[in-house]
Chains A and B, each alone.
Chain A
Amino acid sequence: MITAEHISKSFGDVQAVKDVSLVAEDGKITALLGANGAGKTTSMRMIYALITPETGVVTVDGINSTDNPVAARARMGVLPDARGLYLRLTALENMAYFGRLQGMSEADIKSRSEELVSRLGMEKFANRQTDGFSQGQRVKVAIARALLHDPQNILLDEPTNGLDVMSTRAIREFLREEKARGKCILFSSHVMQEVSAVCDEITVIDAGAVKAKGTEAELLRLSGQDNLEDAFVSLVTTSTLSGANP
């Protein structure tokens, strides 16, 4: 379980994130929904303890990630906005490298790699150097690499960005399976259908601040719209709502 309470971050004069709070529970898929530049990536970076929030607290399974970032990171598997793979290493070597840095044994790395290769459908390219991989192949390797240590908390920054239908479906299916295993999944997205298709809880963020929270049905009711896209537009353009539902 991940909780963020009143986290803020500014870069120079620009306040990227203002007082954001959210909770991602185990066995649920929580979405951080926002337009480009809304502060999603910065919020995610604070939550996965890459950068330190100026105010507020992030806890991962009860561990304060500012005080103990290493322990917090061990509880998380993160697909960050940056998916950079090592081009001269094969897909399996990319995964094994991170597995070792996670402190896994060689036997665990091997068995878990086999499992993820088959679940994500990576058999054809698992032993190839990643130079020249398609976007979909790259994201699959990046996800497998991030989740090799089978973390309780899974964080993904725009996981299906730029992927084709088949890859998107494979990843959605994978996330539903993980949810069924009781994992806590938090992902950021700007794609309404995506969020609508897989998420249980939605936090709408705009200009660095939370505008609304709830299930899809709750957001529709709150905004008086009949689809998530219209609801989103209505929520981020009607400033009064941010006060009504902090």
Chain B
Amino acid sequence: MISKAFKTVFKKEVMENIRDKRTMMSSVILGSFLGPVMALGLIYMSVQMGKDKAEKQLELPVVNMQFAQNLEKHLISQDVKIINLEKSPEAAIKDKDHDVVLAIDKGFAASMSQAQPAKVMLYYDASAKGAANVSVRRVKALINAYSSQIGAMRLQLRGVSPGLMQVISIEEHDQATAQSKGAQLLMFLPYFLIMGLFMGSMYLAIDTTAGEKERKSLEPLFLNPVSRVQVLAGKLAATISFGLLTLVLTLIAFKLTLPFYPTKSLGMTLSLNLADVGLMLLVLLPLALLAGSIQTIIAAFSKSFKEAQTYVNLVIFIPLIPSMLLMFMPVKEKLWMIATPILSQNILINQLIRGETVEWFNVLVCICGTLFVGGLLAWFAVRLYNKENMLFAD
């Protein structure tokens, strides 16, 4: 099967690409480091922002604090810094001056003394980004705590046990391990690993097909007494090998950045030894065949290098879909999911990150499933140029 023509084309494409230093830098080196570094940066930022809001002294703008002096004392005792508001509460939230504004109803004191529910108003924007919600939750918790504290006192004064109010008590047993908590943040890590793979093979997929067509060297190439399938197979093999190279570098970069993940400050562990990284490599390897073949097919259909670049760039977002799905719907994996390329890599890598045992059967299904789809695409890709109208750019 491995013919001289295949080897000749493969060697030439690899050598030509290595000579193009700028492309090597941007696709292979950048592709392999971008993913892990971006993942690290994103996680670090989200952790840091959440931590700041949760630990910092809460600054709470309150309107009409004078109507609720006991509540004021309670808040101050809980280390809340009460500040005055110049604007209306609505404007303060709209202008993003504050995450949350508390307003005391004029009848607060009167309701309080008559043992009626006293009213306070909470202004916030539920659609605001992550860290703002932390402030809202903290204010709600503070007021609820104050409310039940006073409620309990009222019952006791009337000789009633406050326990009567609590019909059911929930005792929480959170089974999340320290490692699985960390994994929530790392849900999208598989995407960053897969992205590198796609970036590594992207350039060669375009250059060996649409690029060669545009530079008008495809016609002379096909005039040699070798089958077009062999020539395309050599090109595809070169494309895939650069995807593989980038994948290996990505995993090395990932392993190197691992100690920098802010695991301690979140009280989680993220321990991936070399065997785990090796297993990641094993399940990701067959994906190189699929990535290279898809990219080659798309590039081969394009009329010019630029057109191919536009479409092939979009392909990088395909592996994002399963990552997103898994982030929002944590479903129990089923056999068809393990057999679906990209989705299966996402599931298995997530299992590894969460510190769960990965079953060898699933690894086998994942590899076979990906190789099957990748093989089909490759079979199609190497036959594309057997069609005459694919040969010419004009």
Contact = CB atoms under 8 A, between A and B. Distances in A.
Interface of A: 48, 50-52, 70-71, 73-74, 76, 78, 80-89, 97-98, 100-103, 142, 145-146
Nearest to A9: B388
Interface string B206-217: 000000100111
Nearest to A11: B389
A88 B224 CA distance: 20
B220 A103 contact: no
A97 B225 CA distance: 13
B216 A102 contact: no
Given A51-B388, A52-B388, A88-B20, A145 B220 contact: yes
Given A81-B219, A82-B219, A84-B218, A89 B16 contact: yes
> Chain B interface residue count: which class?
20 to 34
Contact of A146 (B216, B220, B388): B220
Interface string B1-44: 00011001100100110011000000000000000000000000
B223 interface: yes
B227 interface: yes
Interface of A is mostly: loop
B219 to A, nearest CB: 4
Interface in B338-394: 388, 391
B226 A70 contact: yes
13 contacts: A70-B226, A73-B223, A80-B219, A82-B216, A82-B219, A84-B219, A87-B215, A100-B4, A101-B5, A101-B8, A101-B9, A101-B225, A146-B223
A188 to B, nearest CB: 14
Of B216, B217, B231, most buried by chain A (CB within 10 Å of CB) is B217
A138 to B, nearest CB: 11
A101 B20 contact: no
B220 A142 contact: yes
Given A89-B12, A89-B16, A97-B8, A50 B219 contact: yes
Given A73-B225, A100-B4, A88 B220 contact: no
B222 interface: yes
B97 to A, nearest CB: 58
A85 B217 CA distance: 6
A70 B20 contact: no
Nearest to A45: B219
Contact of A78 (B15, B20, B212, B223): B223
B16 A82 contact: no
